[in-house]
Amino acid sequence: MNITKAKNNTSTHAVIIGGSITGLLSARVLAEFFSKVTIIDSDELCDEPIPRKGVAQSVQPHVLLVKGYRILEELFPGIGEELQVNGALPIDWAQEFFRLVPDVGWGAIAESPSEFISYTCSRPLLEWIIRKRVAKLANVCWLDRHRVTGLVCNHEKKITGALLYQVGKTKEKIEEASLVVDASGRRSLAPKWLEKLGFNCPPETVINPFLGYATRRYKKNEDLAFEGKVMLIPQVPPHNKRLGYLARIENGEWIATLGGYGQDFPPIDEHGFLKFARNLPNSKFYELIKDAEPISPIYAYRATANRLRHYEKIQLPLGFIVLGDAVCALCPVYGQGLTVSSLAALVLRSCLEKRKNWSKDGYFLSSEFQKELAKSNFPHWDVATVQDSAFASTYPSIQKQGALNKFIQWYSQKFILGTVLFPELNVLFIGITNLVISPLRLFSPKIIFKILMAKFIKF
């Protein structure tokens, strides 16, 4: 246990607001540097993989990208085996991911197994497995059924704890700490807490594509042939606003999601849900679910706006940081959320390891961390918002594109077409979208040649 970086603190106690995946990964990292880490969550945390009231989208699908899985293995060695023992399915994204290019065809499947492996499972199962691992850390403890109402600050503008109360009771108490971490997600109240203490609220950028989606689970129908483990029929701006996502998960179930941009929301009644599926650009999704046995209600979710709080642009009190969706909440359709949270945990570890990020009296320099986190978040924010802004219904509307952006958009479209023809290009696409290959690879001479070949081939 390494707590030398915090040796000058009046306390070596870190408090995390929110016991979701971002909070759990933060706890794993903080346990290396603080003698005590406390996770505070308003839910009662059960020792089984069930949806939580405090995670509104927990019944919706979650994608564990290859990069995110590799980070989990770094933080929790052997977690993949534990996921599989509990029902999660390993997936080779180059061979078992079926992605439609509308009006063209399906992405070319790799001829041999690839290195792009992760797992497909429900969000509750993944969170439960991570929580069990974190619970084994001797210096991590929990305060479930507690709600944080504010921050405690001393006369030197340093955070010394969090103000909270137990759910069902009214008496407030203080949980003293030398570092408070807000990992409470989209519903974070940190801007109000900071304003109450006399600090500026972070400026916000919001890009709202008005996407809504609906999800239902089905019992897998063995009579229907689906060779893969995940199917995606994606939206294609500016006109094709609808999407379908189907994935195998634990317990022999399928999780099926329909989505629509620009308030073209999928219905949540059975007839409307199936009709929406039937009108996707390809019938395969509909054929797989129309006769399958539903085993859940249809759950809607519409809190999908991209929201970026610019904590890197304000002066924060020492001893308080914000990460995860509380800072950078991305449109969930791109499946980046879990991986962005994993990357944030690595940024936190890197900053904690550097002595320059600690004050003389042992407090963590919050503003330095937020600047590093902003650099980590930006590429993922850029991917989501640029694509979402290509729909005319997105607010605010897209600005006039420069020549470079127009070229990149044209080149990307030709690359996507090439992924139908050439397995090599589809494997490259898989590596880039799973955040393990740099997008710069798109401009290697060999790739440029294949993309140009695809341009002249009639589909």
Picking from 357, 385, 413, the residue at the C-terminal end of a domain is 385
Q: How many domains, the chain?
A: 3
Residue 277 belongs to a domain:
yes
Closest CA to 181 of 316, 9, 339: 316
Asked whether residue 328 is assigned to any structural domain, the reply reads: yes
Contact (Cβ atoms closer than 8 angstroms) between residue 243 and residue 234? yes
**C-alpha closest to that of 337 among 306, 301, 371:** 306
Decide if 398 is inside a domain.
no
8 A C-beta contact, residue 296 and residue 425: no
pLDDT tens column, 240-294: 999 999 999 999 999 999 999 999 999 999 999 999 999 999 999 999 999 999 9
Q: 49 and 132: one domain?
A: yes
CATH number for the domain including 159?
A: 3.50.50.60
Tokens read off for 2? 């390494």
Confidence class for position 403, pLDDT limits 50, 70, 90:
confident
Last residue of a domain, one of 249, 280, 301: 301
For residues 200 and 213, membership in a common domain is answered with: no
> Rounded distance, CA 217 to CA 74, Å?
31
Rounded distance between C-alpha atoms, residue 459 and residue 455, angstroms: 10
Tell me the residue range of the domain where 451 lies.
403-455
Look at 225 and 119; give whichever has higher pLDDT: 119
Q: Is 394 contained in some domain?
A: no
Cα distance between the two ends of the chain: 59
Residue 62, in any domain of the structure? no
Same domain, 313 and 335: yes
Query: Which of 257, 281, 301 lies at the terminal end of a domain, its last residue?
Result: 301
- Are both 196 and 322 inside the same structural domain? yes
Lowest mean pLDDT among 326-330, 441-445, 449-453: 449-453
Across the beta sheet with 172-176, the strand order is 146-153, 159-166, 172-176
Q: Are residues 192 and 341 in the same domain?
A: yes
* Domain assignment of residue 313, yes or no: yes
Please tell me whether residues 137 and 195 are part of one structural domain: yes
Residues 109 and 251 in one domain: yes
- pLDDT tens digit string along 182-205? 999 999 999 999 999 999 999 999
What pLDDT was estimated at residue 191? 98
Span 321-334, average pLDDT = 96
Q: What is the mean pLDDT of the chain?
A: 92
Query: What is the rounded distance in angstroms from the CA atom of residue 212 to the CA atom of residue 333?
Result: 10
Same domain, yes or no, for 166 and 138?
yes
pLDDT of residue 401: 64
Residues 334, 223, single domain; the answer is no
> What are the structure tokens assigned to 459, written together?
């589909």
Extract the tokens encoding 159.
Answer: 């955070």
Beta carbons within 8 Å of 93's beta carbon, 6+ residues apart = 66, 114, 116, 117, 118, 230, 430, 434
6: pLDDT confidence band, cut at 50, 70 and 90?
A: very low
Determine the pLDDT at residue 400: 61
Helix, strand, or coil here: 449? Answer: helix
